[in-house]
Amino acid sequence: MMSLRLCVSSVAMAAALLASRALAAYSSPPSLQVPACPHLSVASFNKTVPDQKDFPPTEVALCYGADTINLAFSAHNETNFYFNASQGTNDAIWEYEVMETFIAPGDKDPQTYLEFEVNPNNVTFQAFIYNPTKVRADGAPFETFYINNTLEAGFTAATMLDQDQQLWGSSVSIPLGLFNVDSGTAKGTKWRMNFFRTVVAPATFPDQTLGAWSSPNKASFHITPFFGHVEFI
């Protein structure tokens, strides 16, 4: 009896191992458990989208509060700090260097999600995206709903640049009410999120190098089956 159980369980383990290898080959989205502030979880990445070459190390430390999701982005090995000084809130800052998060409540591949970006000049972009094909298919609807009054809406941002350390850090908070999460009720909620960074220099503009926590299979961030799974614990 004992040996049979052992035998069955080793077959099951081998099958589970094969399955996890197969999933890894298809780069199944990562998962992250996120605690209440002031504790933190960190999502980190250092590979390009989509070809998985070396990319400057990037970290996003996150936690949830009563009314906000708090994120601290760290861009290491930053040498360009490239932004367009004439751009302001909700302008096309993604053409230059940004760090980004895409966020949707729930566990399913989203059609609608918040797109949030910050650049080295502390300028932010925030809009809901409606992407019903989930992959931004050519010719399909793709709508952007801007949030322009960011301070009134409860967004915050703070940006720190350290040229000597090749470091760019931005700490931001995003209101939970945007996702119908009432004050103090975020514990136990599930989310789909991804984190991104763009790298470009004046000499290479507009050709960017892209990095992601969960790399899509194409050079596009708007492919929602690749969003990672996040749980607020």
Residues that bind ligand NAG in the complex, under the rule CB under 6 A: 44, 46, 54, 56-57, 77, 84, 86-87, 90-91, 122, 124, 146, 148, 157-159
Closest CA to 57 of 76, 72, 31: 76
Query: Smallest gap, in angstroms, from Cβ of residue 77 to ligand NAG?
Result: 4
The CA-CA-CA angle for residues 110, 139, 118, to 5°, reads 50
For ligand NAG, which is the closer residue by CB, 82 or 102? Answer: 82
Distance (Å, whole) CA 37 – CA 72: 12
CB of 104 to ligand NAG, least distance (A): 21
For ligand NAG, the closer of residues 31 and 148 by Cβ is 148
* Least distance from ligand NAG to the Cβ atom of residue 18, Å: 23
Nearer to ligand NAG, 155 or 191 (CB): 155
CB-wise, 96 or 227, nearer to ligand NAG? 96
Using CA atoms, how far residue 131 sits from 2, 41, 115, 128, 222, in Å, is 53, 28, 12, 10, 8
Question: CB 146 → ligand NAG: shortest distance, Å?
Answer: 4
Phi, psi dihedrals of residue 150, rounded to the nearest 5°: -70, -40
CA-CA distance, 21 to 93, in Å (whole number)?
Answer: 38
By C-beta, is 135 or 178 nearer to ligand NAG? 178
Q: State which amino acid sits at residue 201.
A: A
In the bound complex, what is the minimum distance in angstroms from residue 87's beta carbon to ligand NAG? 6
Q: How far is the CB of 159 from ligand NAG (least distance, A)?
A: 4
Closest approach of ligand NAG to the CB of residue 139, in Å: 23
By C-beta, is 129 or 135 nearer to ligand NAG?
129
* Cα separation, 227 vs 111, whole angstroms: 11
- Cβ nearer to ligand NAG, comparing 105 with 211: 211
